[in-house]
Structure 1
Amino acid sequence: MTQKRWSPSSWRGMPALHIPDDYPDVQALADAETELKGYPPLVFAGEAQKLKQRLGEVAMGKAFLLQGGDCAESFKEFHPDNLRDMFRVKMQMAVVLTYGAGQPVVKVGRIAGQFGKPRSSPVEVRDGITLPSYRGDNINGMEFSPESRVPDPNRLIKAYGQSASTLNLLRAFSMGGYANLRNIHQWNLGFVEGSETNEKYKVMAEKISDAMDFMDACGVTPDTTPQMAQTDYYTSHEGLLLGYEEAMTRIDSTSGRWYDTSAHMLWIGNRTRQLDHAHVEFFRGIDNPIAMKVGEGLEPDELMQLLDVLNPHNEAGRITLIARYGHDKVAKGLPSLARAVKREGRHVVWSCDPMHGNTIKTGTGYKTRPFDNILSEVKGFMQVLHSENCWPGGVHFEMTGQNVTECVGGSAQVVREEDLSSRYHTHCDPRLNATQALELAFQIAEELKSYRKDEGVRLAS
């Protein structure tokens, strides 16, 4: 299939699902996008290229991808303490996975740009009043009022500013000493004290500290070995609002390639991965590592066509396939895709999103996700890929470092249905709290350890 010449704007004029078309002032939107084109990049081409190399190691079974963060970032909850808590629970999870499974972990946040959300319905009805749905703080407001739900182009500018501030703080955390392994005991969050998971973490942290004392005596210290004092931390979001993404896309002066500088990694959602639509068109031309959600309804032939377009050179690390089925559907839907990818020799990172297929609504009206179903889907995902001789290379969570009550279950700190109302703070979908996320990390580490012990790493040929 001959493809037309690509440019950052070649998606325009093609079908573009879930991009709002009801801005009351189209010129104001165009002006905002023009203003963004003059702003500095949020990330740099070299950083995105380094992440692609790291993901290439994941694709070959030599590392594991940990991707997670807020369902949707918000302007209201933007605070350095919230960013710190998210960062340190991710650091805890990464240490658990690295130590328990013996795998280097590539850390990617759903952060510094994860604002817009596709919605199942364009409208929301409350008490007989119908208004446009809330689509994310970079589009409209969460408050249920006609004024708040009007798309506002100025929100794009504010989202850029918040993303820049977030990245500034994350770089300080990851490179300025907070990520030093000597701080492993200080990463604990107060509300997990006394939990079974926290006790397991303390035991593991003591073993790591003892090992570091030994290495220190041998002259191997954070001062002499930068990997012990700092970490690479990358950003990602769903590339939904293509006008914003186009405005942030620049030519790298060293390579002559196009990079979307709004994030290191972007993904195409399950609802916007149509082969002849705008999102696939835009994504095929940027040189960032990219991802794509895959789930029910995607057949192997269509997946191969999408890979032909999005990764024509079969570059390891270029594309991550994020499987999202539901705990009771993954065993049926995933095998044919994994089999086709293996048969055709495609280099992909296989990651599991166990959140979106496991959303339910309680009798009290709260959306939630049962912890047991989340864990069940992760295990099912790993079992399927194991049986198809593929590497289960990552997980993709919606999570927070805050002590929320949004997902029911968990054994370390049980959240019951009647607890949901106490600290239900999400702006969109329910998230794992820090205790639940850390508990999952231990469970996943055990699964990976068992997988490697019994079968060894099965490298893609």
Structure 2
Amino acid sequence: AAQQPRWPDPRRAADVADLLHRAAPVVTATRTARLREELAAVARGEAFLLQGGDCAESFTENTDAHKTANLRTLVDMAGVLARRTGLPVVKIARMAGQYAKPRSRDVDAHGLPSYRGDLVNSAEPTLAARTPDPARMLRAHADAADATALIRRLGDGALPEAREVFVSHEALILDYERSSLTVDDSGPEPRLASGLGHFLWIGERTRQLDGAHVAFAALLANPVGLKIGPGTTPEEALAYVRRLDPHVEPGRLTLISRMGHTRIRDVLPPIVEKVAASGHEVVWQCDPMHANTYTAAGGFKTRKVDEIADEIAGFFEVHRRIGTHPGGIHLELTGDPVTECVGGAAGTAEADLPARYRTACDPRLNGDQARELARTVAALATDGVEPRKAAVLR
């Protein structure tokens, strides 16, 4: 298993995992089954998938105000997409578990262990804070449960649209992911169901076909996603599909392309053609964030809204040309008025980045930029295409 923390005391980590195993699940099997049905509709071209939220959740930002702002942004974007396309929009938040992040180096520029998300260690630049602490998994689980409770409260009150929001995170730290599994025998064969999130995905850095993360995802009854970067070959993509969707279930697998705006039009077509020819009905989703990151002159990692929009445009162009359904987008965003990405109607420039640069890891679209992007995506989705009349998913 790649990207795993080196716990100083493995016995303590095992004790924490045992406590987590006895804790109540964060999500219910009924809601996870509902998401499987809705993603099947996306795979058939009858719905659109909008997924978004923080790059990495943090314990300090685990406030009702922050989470509500993120959820409001997500449902506002979904409303724009639904009205313009005539399609139901499946809403999945990067929330209630997105507490761990893969890193390209084990040690940072100051010689300290890299920050791997609040589930593992702290961003504070001291050796003690950066030492992996398994007890942080307990805090992550408790905060995740609080987040799903908030979604229910908002859905019953101030934000009714939130009741249809599912939660998701990258299945990265396997000690945590293994802690909340039950047997689900409702499908073609018995599988393990995760109680930690409705939807889990495998990242670009842990998608080794013979690795532990893909093996773990193959066992799950939950719908799963897989990030595929510009180095993915059509043959590899097909191997992933056969491994993770052995029973050819529509919507069981979401392939999340993260190619970069300069490469998607060249790299993605042969992958789509190969998978489509296999008969598997996957959800095709575009992550236009990760391959468009660069470091600005002031040292801040950032992304340009125009380049994010261009990758999404390329994603739609590829699928329109091949005749497949451009099923959704996957964004890092927040409803807070941050200055982390460049561009948008407000004209955020690189010089503005230090003003409100608050992300725990990668730069996020702010609420205004995210809503603007939703209008751009809606225009791309309906360009030259009559809005489809689709029944609301029940």
TM-score range, shorter chain: over 0.9
Residue identity in the other structure for 1:370: K
Report what 2:157 is aligned to. Answer: 177
CA contact (8 A) 1:140 1:151 kept: yes
Matched, 1:443 2:382: no
Report what 1:116 is aligned to. Answer: 100
Deviations for 1:91-131, whole angstroms, at most 9, x for unmatched residues? 110110000111110000000000100011111113xxx11
Residue identity in the other structure for 2:254: T
Runs of at least 4 residues off by over 3 Å: 252-257, 454-457
Report what 1:104 is aligned to. Answer: 88
Q: Aligned match of 1:48 in 16, 25, 32?
A: 32
Report what 1:243 is aligned to. Answer: 175
CA contact (8 A) 1:102 1:449 kept: no
Report what 2:2 is aligned to. Answer: 17
Deviation at 1:231, TM superposition (A): 3.8
Deviation at 1:45, TM superposition (A): 1.4
CA contact (8 A) 1:299 1:337 kept: yes
Residue identity in the other structure for 2:101: K
Alignment partners' CA distance in 2, 1:157 and 1:150 = 16
TM-score (norm 1): 0.82
Alignment partners' CA distance in 1, 2:35 and 2:330 = 16
Deviation at 1:304, TM superposition (A): 1.2
Q: Which moved more, 1:252-261 or 1:320-329?
A: 252-261
Deviation at 1:451, TM superposition (A): 4.7
CA contact (8 A) 1:177 1:230 kept: no
Deviation at 1:453, TM superposition (A): 2.6
| SS class of match (1:296) | coil
Deviations for 1:37-80, whole angstroms, at most 9, x for unmatched residues? 00011111121111011000000100000000000000011111
CA contact (8 A) 2:262 2:311 kept: yes
Report what 2:134 is aligned to. Answer: 153
Report what 1:136 is aligned to. Answer: 117
Report what 1:214 is aligned to. Answer: none
Fraction of identical pairs, as percent: 43
Alignment partners' CA distance in 2, 1:276 and 1:333 = 23
Deviations for 1:375-407, whole angstroms, at most 9, x for unmatched residues? 000001110111111100100000001000000
Gaps of 5+ in 1: 1-15, 181-228
In structure 2, do the counterparts of structure 1 residues 456 and 339 end up closer, same or farther at CA, with 3 Å as the change threshold? farther
Alignment partners' CA distance in 2, 1:335 and 1:316 = 20
| SS class of match (2:92) | strand
| SS class of match (1:131) | coil
Report what 2:367 is aligned to. Answer: 434
Q: Aligned match of 1:340 in 274, 297, 315?
A: 274
Deviation at 1:454, TM superposition (A): 9.4
Q: Aligned match of 1:389 in 323, 326, 331?
A: 323
Q: Which has the larger radius of gyration?
A: 1
CA contact (8 A) 2:184 2:221 kept: no
Residue identity in the other structure for 2:375: F
Report what 1:423 is aligned to. Answer: 356
Alignment partners' CA distance in 1, 2:191 and 2:239 = 23
Alignment partners' CA distance in 1, 2:157 and 2:59 = 27
| SS class of match (1:377) | helix
Matched, 1:167 2:148: yes
Deviation at 1:373, TM superposition (A): 0.3
TM-score (norm 2): 0.96
Deviations for 1:139-165, whole angstroms, at most 9, x for unmatched residues? 000011111100001000000000000
| SS class of match (2:200) | strand
Matched, 1:313 2:298: no
Matches within 5 A, 1:270-349: 270-349=204-283
Deviation at 1:455, TM superposition (A): 11
Q: Which moved more, 1:159-168 or 1:297-306?
A: 297-306
Report what 1:183 is aligned to. Answer: none
In structure 2, do the counterparts of structure 1 residues 345 and 254 end up closer, same or farther at CA, with 3 Å as the change threshold? closer
